[in-house]
Amino acid sequence: MANQKKKLSLIGLSFAVIAATVGPVAYAQEKTGETKPVAAVAHRGDKQYFPDNSIAGIESAIKKNTDWIEIDLRYNLDGGTFFIAHDNTCSGSGGTAIIDTASYESVVTKCGLPELSDVFDIIAETGYTNFVYEFKDSPLTARTGAQRLAEEISEQGLADKSWVSAFNETSLNVIRAEAPSISLMRVRAWTGEVPVTNAWIDATVSQGFDAININIDALRPESIEYAKSKGLVVSAWGWPDALEDDNQKAIELGVDMFMTDRLEDLVALTH
């Protein structure tokens, strides 16, 4: 699992350092008798202060020295384009559109959503590369969209610097076939406090994925230890939002990455 170790070495990217140096710096090294800090992942950007998946939220998260930024992607079949959005239905001053099946012009006109190309522009301008791209597929886009996402990330030279997360194993398998150096994160749907099982973890390993991403209330110390013993990165998220108490819980549990909706608090606790 060299790909996972490479990913963890990138967790500590700092905006200020990136702007001044050629490459990333390693995150805080684990010290004897100490627990390695959790990597702060800005869930859909700095959503405490800005709209979900907005360019302003992404830029704010970079300035606040987050380790990673997670964004949601929806694939538009007509334009062969990814829009940054959580839901497949988008609404704006121009009306409502279904992102995957509407015309590209309709989504642009009605919803005014940012696109993946806007994120690539930010990467080019700042040098900040640590993104978790969560592919929100549909039955129509699982294969076509996954292949295109792998191609676009690779075309930007970001394959070995990126995570792609998804609920759908089909999409993850397509991405792995297209771009093996992209790290893959298998997400389990929200199940309340129902614990993740060793069987689910084993299935993640057997499919060759690199990480699990579980709602934090479904994680137990023993399941985290088991996943790590199998070489997996353990990521977690909160529902409906990951607040300060969840940040503290993530640290106490010892997950590797936590997708927080209270970014300033987690950065202060872990940096």
The CATH number assigned to the domain holding 56 equals 3.20.20.190
Locate 191 and state its tokens: 């199940």
Provide the pLDDT confidence category of residue 93 given band limits of 50, 70 and 90.
confident
Q: Examine residue 5 and state whether it is found in any structural domain, yes or no.
A: no
Average per-residue pLDDT for the chain: 89
Q: Are 224 and 254 in contact (CB under 8 A)?
A: yes
Q: Whole-angstrom distance between the N-terminal and C-terminal Cα of the chain? A: 26
The answer on pLDDT for 206 being more than 80 is yes
Tens-place pLDDT, residues 10-66: 443 333 333 322 222 233 223 223 455 899 999 999 999 999 999 999 999 999 999
Q: Examine residue 3 and state whether it is found in any structural domain, yes or no.
A: no
State pTM to two decimals.
0.89
Q: Examine residue 36 and state whether it is found in any structural domain, yes or no.
A: yes
Q: Examine residue 251 and state whether it is found in any structural domain, yes or no.
A: yes
- Percent of the chain past pLDDT 70, that is, above it, reads 87
Tens-place pLDDT, residues 210-265: 999 999 999 999 999 999 999 999 999 999 999 999 999 999 999 999 999 999 99
Q: Examine residue 43 and state whether it is found in any structural domain, yes or no.
A: yes
Distance separating alpha carbons of residues 209 and 203, to the nearest angstrom: 9
Helix residue ranges per DSSP H, the chain: 2-9, 15-20, 55-63, 104-111, 116-126, 142-155, 169-178, 198-206, 221-229, 244-253, 263-270
Distance separating alpha carbons of residues 9 and 99, to the nearest angstrom: 35
CB-CB neighbours of 158 under 10 Å: 19
Q: Examine residue 9 and state whether it is found in any structural domain, yes or no.
A: no
Q: Are 250 and 221 in contact (CB under 8 A)?
A: no
Q: Examine residue 14 and state whether it is found in any structural domain, yes or no.
A: no
